[in-house]
């Protein structure tokens, strides 16, 4: 790695996952590794309800609402509004002027719902 490389992302620039350690193995499903310079930390601001995330979503979802539901553990509402249909493309987060980690919250919400369903089945 070059000196300036500060962040390693496993996968692509939109859907890749940031790795916090070099100890993560490269596996069959690893499509690529990005090494980026450390960006200035972008502070998350309040949603200004501009609607850009909604317009950009290829699945016609409301990312701002889904992220909020996921953040506050409102899994029933999140599921009702189609959180499980999210393909995690990252378009919403990329276009958000408030720099809200929409995909992070949506992923978290999806994981919670999937775990709850698994628990119910067991």
Q: In the sheet where 33-37 sits, what is the strand order?
A: 17-19, 5-10, 33-37
For ligand SF4, the closer CB: 37 or 85: 85
* Closest to 7 (Cα-Cα) out of 25, 23, 19, 24: 19
Map tokens 């979503």 to a residue. 57
The CB-of-25 to ligand SF4 minimum distance in angstroms stands at 26
Choose between 12 and 97: whose C-beta lies nearer to ligand SF4: 97
In the complex, minimum distance from the CB of residue 114 to ligand SF4, in angstroms, rounded to a whole number: 15
* Binding positions for ligand SF4, rule: CB under 6 A: 47-53, 56-59, 61, 63-64, 86-92, 95-98, 100, 102-103, 106
Q: Which helix (H) or strand (E) holds 103?
A: helix 102-121
Q: Which DSSP state fits 85?
A: G
Shortest distance in whole angstroms from residue 68 CB to ligand SF4: 9
């Amino acid at each position: 790695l070059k000196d300036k490389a500060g962040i390693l992302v496993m996968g692509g620039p939109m859907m890749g996952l940031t790795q916090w350690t070099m100890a993560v193995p490269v596996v069959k499903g690893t499509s690529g590794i990005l090494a980026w310079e450390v960006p200035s930390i972008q502070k998350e601001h309040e949603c200004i309800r501009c609607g850009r995330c909604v317009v950009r979503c290829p699945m016609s979802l409301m990312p701002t609402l889904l992220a909020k539901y996921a953040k506050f553990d409102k899994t029933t509402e999140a599921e009702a509004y189609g959180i499980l249909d999210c393909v995690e493309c990252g378009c919403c987060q990329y276009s958000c002027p408030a720099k809200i980690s929409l995909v992070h919250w949506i992923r978290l919400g999806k994981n919670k719902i999937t775990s709850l369903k698994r628990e119910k089945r067991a």
